[in-house]
Structure 1
Amino acid sequence: MSSVRIILNFLSGFGVLANIFLLVFYTFIILCHRPKPTDMISCQLTFIHIVLLITGPDIWLWDIFESLNIDNDFKCKTTFYINRMMRSLSICITCLLGVFQAVTISPSSSLLNKFKYKLKKYMISAFLFIWSFNLPFTCHRIIYSGAFTNVSETKQMKATKFCSLFSMNHIIRALILTVATSRDVFLVGLMLATSAYMVIILFRHKRQHKHLHSLSHLKASPEKRATQTILLLVVFFVVMYWVDFIISFTAILLRMYDPVILSIQKFVMNVYPTITPLIQISSDNRIINMLKHMQSLCHHIFKWR
């Protein structure tokens, strides 16, 4: 196993474990406590990132399939479809998280204020729409991907060591690229707009309270802390998205995935779903308090022993 793959597997494994911890926490909060409105969105995003990491190119699922002696063509089609669908869901759910928080912190005088309760009411409907839209949206990955054989004979574009993308009709390709690009541009633009809006709200809040010096106002409110966390996640996603877009565009121009380009893209694809749970864990007081309580409990248990 190459050093690059060892690093990617370590990154993926670490990200999967962090996301599983977060998924268990959110599931417990949703089922047993009074969850925040954003907990359901974060829980879904965490699940998506787990699947995204284990279906990454040449990572976990490939080894499982290989041990089961599953046909390479089936491996390619399955992993490409699931991975691309999860990437599409990731951008949609991240955008929904940013929009929801922007509406949540909007002042009563804002036009967005009237959507506060409507968003909570129609959240499940939004989830169903997002999943229903993305499930068929990436179906072309099943048709136009398969086991890699010989580029010179079949005019395939090598995407991974074992997989390739088949050439498709120019009209179909243009249609898919137009729809996908339009969706991504709209969602990324919406993320940037909500991020700018949240920055303005936080800046106004800071100006309003800068003359207050009591300790109660020096500490960030839970709502403000949540906004800062979501703002960081959204901005981080946008940066990683554009890096991945530039790499993918370069690969399309070259008509093949150079090993160096492919390794960089794999790393970029794994960074966001790996870093996201760490940001959420470190900024959620509920998790921090729970970990402190567990640490104290373990200390007392070992002390009595």
Structure 2
Amino acid sequence: MLSLKNLYFFQAGIGILANAFLFLFHIFTIHQNHRPKPNDVTTCHLAFVHIVMLLTTLDILSTNMFKSLNFPNDLKCKALFYLVRVMRGLSICTTCLLSIIQVITISPSTFYLSRFKQKLTKYIFHAFLCVWSLNLSSNSNMIIYTVAHSNMTNLLSISKYCSLSSMNPIILKIFFTLALSQNIFFVGLMLLSSVYMVIFLSSHQRKSAYLHSMSIFPRTSPAKRATQTVLLLVSFFVIVYCLDIIISSSSAILGKYNPVVLDVQRLVGNIYATVSPLVFISSDKRITGIL
């Protein structure tokens, strides 16, 4: 139990440092460029979301940090778990946006989405507003039903200090259906974008095979490299998301606070937030050149 918690703190520390570095790098890049690239803006947003997500879940896990907040316990629970749910939703949405942006970027002029290329940076801020509004509203039930531990019965423990109060079965089904539909929609868009990117990479590989064979030092084009990075992230996200669903389902079946299960769930749930900035850093020639 202690070693698992130490592993979680180590994972969160690496993730926070990597995301902070990525966030600051892209803030500087956006500040330097009068017309920032949509990928830079989206990656910066994703790094910020992951920083908040890791800090929030770290606060939930740490006894000292939770007690140090001079607020009523109910307010702590509501704020922390609301933030966790919102940030997790934003992580899904932003990764989906990143894959769609890459599809638009690499698409030929004959493709329908190519008409958005010129105004992509403008549209991405509108997309951010939409996904923030969607996640803030769709997770509002956490504000209502998250409470501090008490002597009340019919409470589902979600941490050492917080529980979910009982709710009407119809309302529960509505919130569950909405959350599931939202996640399926964005994960489905990711998979469709991934299929397109795989087709693009295969076509690009066939067209450039002859040129590479004639070149003494073949190089990977920036578009292909960026596409491979996004494809890797989306594939990794889908795998981690499926594992998270399996563990969350087992936790819900138990119906009570199980420290080991919840720690494993947080560990798996934050793997993507920890690994994604490392993938971005290692695949970005601007960053590797500086390092």
Instruction: After TM superposition, give the deviation of residue 53 of structure 1 in Å.
Output: 0.2
Instruction: After TM superposition, give the deviation of residue 57 of structure 1 in Å.
Output: 5.9
- The match for 1:117 is 118
- Aligned CA RMSD, in angstroms, stands at 1.9
- The match for 1:11 is 11
Whole-Å separation in 1 of the counterparts to 2:217 and 2:101: 25
SS at match of 1:154: coil
Kindly name which structure, 1 or 2, has the bigger radius of gyration based on alpha carbons.
Answer: 1
1:77 alignment partner AA? K
2:102 alignment partner AA? Q
- The match for 1:287 is 287
TM-score w.r.t. length of structure 1 = 0.89
1:147-226 correspondence runs (5 A): 147-150=148-151, 153-212=152-211, 213-215=213-215, 218-226=218-226
Of 220-229 and 30-39, deviating more is 30-39
The 3 A distance-change label for structure 1 pair 68 and 58 is closer
Whole-Å separation in 2 of the counterparts to 1:57 and 1:77: 15
2:30 alignment partner AA? I
TM-score w.r.t. length of structure 2 = 0.93
- The match for 1:297 is none
Indicate conservation of the 8 Å contact 2:59/2:66, yes or no: no
The 3 A distance-change label for structure 1 pair 218 and 130 is same
Identity %: 49
1:41-190 correspondence runs (5 A): 41-56=42-57, 59=60, 63-150=64-151, 153-190=152-189
Whole-Å separation in 1 of the counterparts to 2:253 and 2:57: 22
Indicate conservation of the 8 Å contact 1:209/1:217, yes or no: no
Indicate conservation of the 8 Å contact 1:58/1:161, yes or no: no
Instruction: After TM superposition, give the deviation of residue 102 of structure 1 in Å.
Output: 0.8
Whole-Å separation in 2 of the counterparts to 1:283 and 1:55: 28
Instruction: After TM superposition, give the deviation of residue 4 of structure 1 in Å.
Output: 1.6
Of 235-244 and 116-125, deviating more is 116-125
The 3 A distance-change label for structure 1 pair 275 and 265 is same
Whole-Å separation in 1 of the counterparts to 2:100 and 2:74: 39
Instruction: After TM superposition, give the deviation of residue 58 of structure 1 in Å.
Output: 5.4
1:287 alignment partner AA? I
Indicate conservation of the 8 Å contact 1:52/1:83, yes or no: yes
Instruction: After TM superposition, give the deviation of residue 217 of structure 1 in Å.
Output: 7.3
Instruction: After TM superposition, give the deviation of residue 93 of structure 1 in Å.
Output: 0.7
1:181 alignment partner AA? L
Of 61-70 and 273-282, deviating more is 61-70
Instruction: After TM superposition, give the deviation of residue 256 of structure 1 in Å.
Output: 2.7
Indicate conservation of the 8 Å contact 1:58/1:160, yes or no: no
Whole-Å separation in 1 of the counterparts to 2:165 and 2:78: 11
SS at match of 1:164: strand
2:28 alignment partner AA? F
CA distances 1:152-182 after superposition (whole Å, capped 9, x unpaired): x421011111111111111111110111111
Whole-Å separation in 2 of the counterparts to 1:83 and 1:74: 14
Indicate conservation of the 8 Å contact 2:9/2:58, yes or no: no
Of 13-22 and 100-109, deviating more is 100-109
2:112 alignment partner AA? L
Count of matched residue pairs: 289
The 3 A distance-change label for structure 1 pair 216 and 23 is farther
- The match for 1:242 is 242
SS at match of 1:117: coil
The 3 A distance-change label for structure 1 pair 36 and 214 is farther
Whole-Å separation in 2 of the counterparts to 1:61 and 1:137: 27
The 3 A distance-change label for structure 1 pair 103 and 21 is same
- The match for 1:294 is none
Do residues 256 (structure 1) and 256 (structure 2) align? yes
SS at match of 2:110: coil
Whole-Å separation in 2 of the counterparts to 1:3 and 1:168: 36
Instruction: After TM superposition, give the deviation of residue 214 of structure 1 in Å.
Output: 3.8
Instruction: After TM superposition, give the deviation of residue 148 of structure 1 in Å.
Output: 1.8
4+ aligned runs moved over 4 Å, structure 1: 57-62
